[in-house]
Amino acid sequence: MRCCTCSLRPPCVHTGSDGLFLAKQHEYELIILDINLPEMDGWQVLELLRRKNCPSRIMMLTARSRLADKVRGLENGADDYLIKPFEFPELLARVRALMRRSDHPASVEVIRVADLELDQSRHRAFRDGQRIDLTTKEFALLHYLMRNTGVVLSRTQIISQVWDMNFDCDTNVVEVSIRRLRAKIDDPFETKLIHTLRGVGYVLEKR
């Protein structure tokens, strides 16, 4: 497990428990996480980090090439999934792409739609004045929907922008993520903001 800062000279640990400890002590821009780790595997580390709302980008690095493993990693909060063996230039390019995405250069720090508010600088969401705890991936998904308020977004667009990946298969990662997001920002409230256009995509707007 490697934890990266902009220097690209990351510290490296060899057990899941050591990696989890290090990630809790420092706020890294990017964590490269292997699944097959002793003491605590990468799945457990990923789950615990996202449960604690760790803001770091996480790239899964593994020899597991099954679609089910890819989907599991992305649904549980990974930002990228790289399969071994790989060429080093590809790894470096993916690392740089993820770190560019972590800069959050948006000029508008707070986005509002109806009574829903997204504070980008503090990485927080509020609905009707109530704070809503979101994972890093849920926050990114909500941010993308709110930046495109009133625009119908397809599954392909969402996967490309939020996960920065292309899928040519029938993965349900978007549907699962939308369902989890709705459970937090829509279900507890009378007015629903996330709407499904069957066969087309999703749109966030007040109706």
Question: 93 and 115: one domain?
Answer: no
Query: In angstroms, what CA-CA distances link 74 with 30, 33, 105?
Result: 15, 13, 24
Question: 118 and 92: one domain?
Answer: no
C-alpha to C-alpha distance for 154 and 90, rounded to whole angstroms:
27
Question: 90 and 150: one domain?
Answer: no
- pLDDT band, residue 96 (cuts 50/70/90): confident
Question: 28 and 78: one domain?
Answer: yes
Q: What is the pTM of this model?
A: 0.54
C-alpha to C-alpha distance for 198 and 75, rounded to whole angstroms:
21
Q: What is the pLDDT of residue 8?
A: 54
- Write down which residue in 101, 133, 149 finishes a domain: 101
For the chain, the average pLDDT equals 86
Question: 94 and 119: one domain?
Answer: no
Question: 119 and 175: one domain?
Answer: yes
C-alpha to C-alpha distance for 100 and 82, rounded to whole angstroms:
18
- Write down which residue in 101, 127, 155 finishes a domain: 101
Question: 89 and 146: one domain?
Answer: no
Count how many domains the chain has: 2
Alpha-helical runs (H) found in 84-135:
88-101
Residue with token string 């392909």: 156
Dihedrals φ, ψ of 111, to 5°?
-110, 135
Question: 13 and 67: one domain?
Answer: yes
Cis check for the bond before 85: say yes or no (omega within 30 of 0). yes
C-alpha to C-alpha distance for 35 and 163, rounded to whole angstroms:
19
pLDDT (tens digit, 9 = 90+) per residue, 39-50? 999 999 999 888
- Write down which residue in 101, 135, 164 finishes a domain: 101
> By mean pLDDT, which of 15-19, 136-140, 169-173, 177-181 is the weakest?
169-173
- Residue 12 belongs to domain spanning: 2-101
Q: What is the pLDDT of residue 107?
A: 44
pLDDT (tens digit, 9 = 90+) per residue, 143-153? 999 989 999 99
